[in-house]
C-alpha cells in the first residue's frame, strides 16, 4: 500500500477505480473493507527521517495511505493528501505554494471562505492578489505581476453556476509559468478531469460530493508528487489532519461516488428543465440548460453538468421563503453534495456576510434559491417542486 498512484496498475475505468483503487493488497486479515486504524502513533522500526515516522498528524496512517492512493487514482494524479476540511486543504495549499512577496491571481466569485482568505488573510502573510473575470481571458495579462506565482479558480461558481474559461486558464498558466490550482468540488472527478485538462493541482472539499453523506468534514489535494509533498509538509506543521475514522468514512463514501454523481446529474437536469418551464420561476442557473451562457463550454469540457442549480422565484423573498416552507423532500440547510436534496437561500446563508449592495452587484438577489440535488427519485423531486411552486403562485 502506498499513498501515490501506482502506474503499474491497469488503467481501469473511473467507477472501478472508485471501488478498488488504494485498497490494501493483500487484504489486512482478509478484511474486504479497509479497517480503521484508530492509533495516533505506530511502533518505530529504524526510521531514518522524520517523514518516515508514523504518526497521525503526519498524515501517514494506513487509513491515510489507502485514501491517498484512491484519490490519486480517481483524479489521475501522482499523489494525494487529505486534510481536515476543504478550507484546510485550500489554505494549506496556498500557504505551501506562496510566500511573502508573492502574488496570486484568483477567480472573482470564489467560495466565500476562500474569497475571504485570499482577499483578507493572505495580505497578512505579505501575499498579494488580484481577482480575474473568468470569462474575459483578454483582461488577465494586465493583472500579472513579476511576483505572480499561481492562478486559482473553481470549476463551477457558487451560487450562480458560472463556468469560467478553464482551457484558457491552463493555457495562460503555462504561458506565464504559474502553478494552476482548481477547486473542483462542484464538478467532482466524475464530471471534470482537471489534471488531464492540464491543471497542476486539484482541490476538493471532501465534505461534499466525495463523501456524499453530509456526515463529515474533509479536504483533498491531488497532483504531481513534488507539489503534494510540499503541501503535505506544510499540512504536517499547520496540523489540519483528517482523523483515521473520518478517513475510513470518506474512503467508503468515495466507492459510490460515480453512481451518486451520475444520478445527481440526471436529477438536476430534470429539475432544471422543469423549473425553466415554470411561470413561478424567473431564471434558472444550470450549466446543463441550453440557455446557460456557458452551456457550450460546459458541454465541451464536462461529462455531466453536476447536481447544483439555482433560480429566482417570482414574488421576491416572501415567495422564496414560502417555497422553502412548502417543499417536503429537500431539507433547508447550507452545504451540498450529499445524497439528500438540500435547499437554501444564499442571501441568508453562504452569502449572508456579503453586504446587500455587493450581492446585487454579484447578481445574487435576495430571492435566489440554491438547490443541491440529491439522489432521490427525480419524479418525486419534480412533483414536490411542482406542488411547492403551485402553492405560492
Catalytic residue among 208, 255, 345, 370: 208
Q: Catalytic annotation on 111?
A: yes
- Taking CB atoms, the residue at the shortest distance from ligand PLP is 86
Shortest spacing between CB 61 and ligand PLP, in angstroms: 20
Catalytic residue among 57, 171, 229, 359: 57
Burial of 71 (0-12, 13-18, 19+ CB in 10 A): buried
Say if CB 275 and CB 239 are below 8 A apart.
no
**For binding to ligand PLP (CB under 6 A), which residues are involved?**
85-87, 111, 113, 154, 158, 183, 185-186, 205, 207, 217, 219
Closer CB to ligand PLP, residue 115 or residue 171? 115
Q: Which helix (H) or strand (E) holds 222?
A: strand 219-223
Q: Catalytic annotation on 57?
A: yes
Closer CB to ligand PLP, residue 5 or residue 185? 185
Closer CB to ligand PLP, residue 158 or residue 264? 158
Burial of 113 (0-12, 13-18, 19+ CB in 10 A): middle
CA atoms within 13 A on the CB side of 58: 14
Q: 3-class SS at 144?
A: coil
Closer CB to ligand PLP, residue 288 or residue 337? 337
Separation between Cα atoms, residue 199 and residue 233, nearest integer Å: 21
Shortest spacing between CB 265 and ligand PLP, in angstroms: 17
Catalytic residue among 3, 165, 183, 384: 183
Shortest spacing between CB 110 and ligand PLP, in angstroms: 8
Q: What is the distance between the terminal CA atoms of the chain, rounded to a whole angstrom? A: 58
C-alpha cell at 49: 527521517
Shortest spacing between CB 297 and ligand PLP, in angstroms: 19
Q: Catalytic annotation on 183?
A: yes
Shortest spacing between CB 219 and ligand PLP, in angstroms: 6
Q: Is 80 left (phi over 0), alpha (psi -120 to 50) or beta?
A: beta
From the list 236, 233, 239, the residue with the least C-alpha distance to 97 is 233
Catalytic residue among 17, 54, 102, 111: 111
Q: Give the residue numbers marked as catalytic.
A: 57, 111, 183, 208
Amino acid at each position: 500500500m502506498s499513498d501515490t498512484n501506482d502506474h503499474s496498475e491497469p488503467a481501469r475505468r473511473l467507477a472501478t477505480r472508485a471501488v478498488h483503487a488504494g485498497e490494501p493488497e493483500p487484504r489486512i486479515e482478509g478484511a474486504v473493507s479497509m479497517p480503521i486504524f484508530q492509533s495516533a502513533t505506530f511502533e518505530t522500526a529504524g526510521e531514518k527521517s522524520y517523514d518516515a515516522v508514523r504518526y497521525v498528524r503526519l498524515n501517514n496512517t494506513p487509513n491515510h495511505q489507502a485514501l491517498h492512493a484512491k484519490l490519486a487514482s480517481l483524479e489521475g494524479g501522482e499523489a494525494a493528501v487529505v486534510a481536515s476540511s476543504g478550507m484546510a486543504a485550500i489554505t494549506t495549499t496556498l500557504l505551501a505554494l506562496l510566500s511573502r512577496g508573492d502574488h496570486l491571481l484568483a477567480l472573482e466569485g470564489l467560495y466565500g471562505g476562500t474569497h475571504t482568505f485570499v482577499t483578507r488573510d493572505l495580505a497578512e502573510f505579505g501575499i498579494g492578489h488580484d481577482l480575474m473575470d473568468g470569462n474575459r481571458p483578454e483582461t488577465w495579462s494586465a493583472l500579472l505581476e513579476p511576483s505572480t506565482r499561481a492562478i486559482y479558480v473553481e470549476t463551477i461558481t457558487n451560487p450562480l453556476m458560472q463556468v469560467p474559461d478553464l482551457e484558457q486558464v491552463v493555457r495562460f498558466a503555462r504561458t506565464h509559468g504559474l502553478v494552476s490550482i482548481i477547486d473542483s468540488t462542484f464538478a467532482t472527478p466524475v464530471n471534470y478531469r482537471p489534471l488531464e485538462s492540464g491543471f497542476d493541482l486539484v482541490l476538493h472539499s471532501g465534505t461534499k460530493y466525495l463523501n456524499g453523506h453530509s456526515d463529515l468534514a474533509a479536504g483533498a489535494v491531488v497532483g504531481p508528487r513534488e507539489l503534494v509533498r510540499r503541501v503535505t509538509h506544510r499540512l504536517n506543521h499547520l496540523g489540519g489532519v483528517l482523523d483515521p475514522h473520518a478517513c475510513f468514512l470518506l474512503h467508503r463514501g468515495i466507492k459510490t461516488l460515480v453512481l451518486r454523481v451520475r444520478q445527481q446529474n440526471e436529477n438536476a437536469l430534470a429539475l432544471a428543465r422543469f423549473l425553466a418551464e415554470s411561470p413561478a420561476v424567473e431564471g434558472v442557473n444550470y450549466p446543463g440548460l441550453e440557455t446557460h451562457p456557458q452551456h457550450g463550454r460546459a458541454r465541451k469540457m464536462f461529462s455531466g453538468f453536476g447536481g447544483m442549480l439555482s433560480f429566482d422565484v417570482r414574488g421576491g423573498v416572501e415567495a422564496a421563503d414560502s417555497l422553502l416552507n412548502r417543499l417536503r423532500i429537500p431539507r433547508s440547510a447550507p452545504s451540498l453534495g450529499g445524497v439528500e436534496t438540500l435547499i437554501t437561500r444564499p442571501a441568508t446563508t453562504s452569502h449572508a456576510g456579503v453586504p446587500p449592495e455587493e450581492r446585487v452587484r454579484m447578481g445574487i438577489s435576495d430571492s435566489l434559491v440554491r438547490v443541491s440535488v440529491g439522489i432521490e427519485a427525480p419524479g418525486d423531486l419534480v412533483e414536490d417542486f411542482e406542488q411547492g411552486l403551485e402553492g405560492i403562485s
